[in-house]
Amino acid sequence: MTRAAWSLRNRLIALLALLAFVAWAASSVWLYRSTRQQAGELFDAALVETAHAVFAAVSHEGLRKDDDFDFEPSEHVHAERIFYQLRDRRGSIRYASPGAPVSALADAGVDGFSERLVDGTTYRVFTLLEPRRRAAIHVGQRVADRDALVRSMALQLLLPGVVVVMLLSIGVWFIVRRVTAPVIAFSSAIDARAPTDSGTVVVEDLPSELQPVGQAVNRLLERVQSALLKERTLTADAAHELRTPLAALRAQAQVALRARDDAERSESLQALIGGVDRATRLVETVLALARLDAKAPDRSTLEELPLRPLVSDVVRGLAASARGSVREIEVDVPDLTVLGDPDSLPLAIRNLCENALRHARSRVRLSASEANGVTTIAVRDDGSGMTAEQKARAFDRFYRATSDGSGAGLGLALVKRVAELHGGEVRFSSGLDGRGLGVELSLPRRAS
C-alpha cells in the first residue's frame, strides 16, 4: 500500500464508506428477519382466511346435506400457491383445489397449524375441523414458495438500500475531498517552497481546528530561516574576519624569512605566534557560536552547578594567559548554585572577563548575587566604557567598539546566545570607580 493510498483523505473515505456498508448490512439482517416474521404471519393469516371462506361456501352448498357434493371448478390460468382439501366425516377427500397433492395435507383429527411432508414437499397447513360432523378443511402452502416470496420481498426492500449506500459513498468521497482540499493545498504549498523562500504559507483557508497547526508550521519555517540566515552570516563574516590575521601571518612569515639577524627573526616569529593565537581564538569562538546556534532552548538539560568553583576555574585560566599584565581580577562570588549548562556557561563568563581585561585600566571585578530566584553574574571594569551608540550595537556579531584590532567582535554575541539558551538575559550596568563598563548575566532558576 502506497503512502498516497493511506492518506488522511483516503482513510476518511474508506472508513466512512465501510461504516455505511456495515450500517446497511446490519439493517438488512434486521429487515430480513422482520420481513420473514411478518410475511409468515401474513401467510398464516391467508391460510386461516382461505379455510374459513371455503368452509362457509361448502357448509352452505354441500356438507350440510347427506347426499354427495359434486362440484367441478373451471380451470385456472395462474399458478396456484394455496391449496385446500375437503374431507368428509369418513376421512375421504371429497374435493381438492387444482394442483393440490393427492395425499391428505394433514392427518385426520388434526386442528390448527401444522407442517407435513407430502409427496416429497413440505407444506405449511391450517386445518379447520368441524367436530360435530367430523368434516375438515385443509388449506396448505408449500414452504419453499413461502421462502421464495419472503426472499423476493426482502430483495425488493434491500435493493434501494444498496442504491442508497452507493450514493452515500459517492457523497462521502466528494465531501471528504472538498473538506480536505485546503489541507492538501497547504501541504503542496510547503512542498513547493524554494530553499530561499522566506515567506509564510497562507493558513486562512485551513479549517479552524488545523489553523494552529499551520501557524506552528509557519513559526517553524521562520525559525529555520533565521537559523539558516545566522549560519550564512556567521560563515561569511568569519571568512571575512580571517582574511586579516591570515594576511598578517603571511607578512610576519615573510619578515622572518628576510631577517638579517636572530633578534629580528625572533621578533617576527613571536609576532607570528601571536597572530596564530588570535586566529585560533577567532576560529574557536566561531565554532562555539555555531554550536550554540544549533541548540534549542531546553531547560530540562540544565544542571545545578556550584558557581564559586566554576568561576575559580575560569579566572585561573585567564590568570595563566595574562601573566605579567598590570590588570587583575577581583572575585566576589558567594557559595551559590546556578541552573546552567556546564559547557556553555563557563565560556560566557570567560568571554565577559576577557572583554573586561582587554578594556580595563587596572582592575576587573567579577561578582555574583541571587534575588527572587534569579542568579546574576556581573563583570565590571574601570576602562573607558562605551557610548550609547556603541552599546546599541555591542551584541551584534563581529562588531568592535574599538579599532585597535583586538578581539573578534564575537564575545558579547556569544554571551547573549548563552543567556538565550538559559532563558535569561544580558544587559549593561555601571563600571568601577564611576567609569568603565559593567555587563550582567542573569540566569533564572525556574522556567519563566
Cα separation, 380 vs 394, in Å, equals: 15
- Amino acid 61: pLDDT: 58
Q: Which three cell numbers stand for residue 39?
A: 410475511
- Report residue 70's pLDDT band, with 50, 70 and 90 as the boundaries: very low
Cα separation, 161 vs 150, in Å, equals: 17
Residue with cell 583586538: 406
Do residues 381 and 364 lie in contact, with contact meaning Cβ atoms separated by under 8 Å?
yes
Q: How many CA atoms lie within 13 Å of 413's alpha carbon, on the beta-carbon side?
A: 21
- Helix, strand, coil percentages, rounded to 5, for the chain: 55, 15, 30
Cα separation, 255 vs 231, in Å, equals: 36
Q: What is the mean pLDDT of the chain?
A: 77
68 or 208, which is more confident:
208
Residue with cell 622572518: 256
402-444, pLDDT tens digit by residue? 655 555 667 788 888 888 888 889 998 888 888 889 999 998 8
Mean pLDDT confidence for 390-405: 70
- Could you give phi then psi for residue 121, rounded to 5 degrees? -125, 135
Domain boundaries, the chain: 11-156, 195-294, 297-444
Do residues 13 and 172 lie in contact, with contact meaning Cβ atoms separated by under 8 Å?
yes
Fold of the CATH domain 11-156:
Beta-Lactamase (3.30.450)
Class of domain 297-444: alpha beta
Mean pLDDT confidence for 228-241: 66
- Report residue 217's pLDDT band, with 50, 70 and 90 as the boundaries: confident
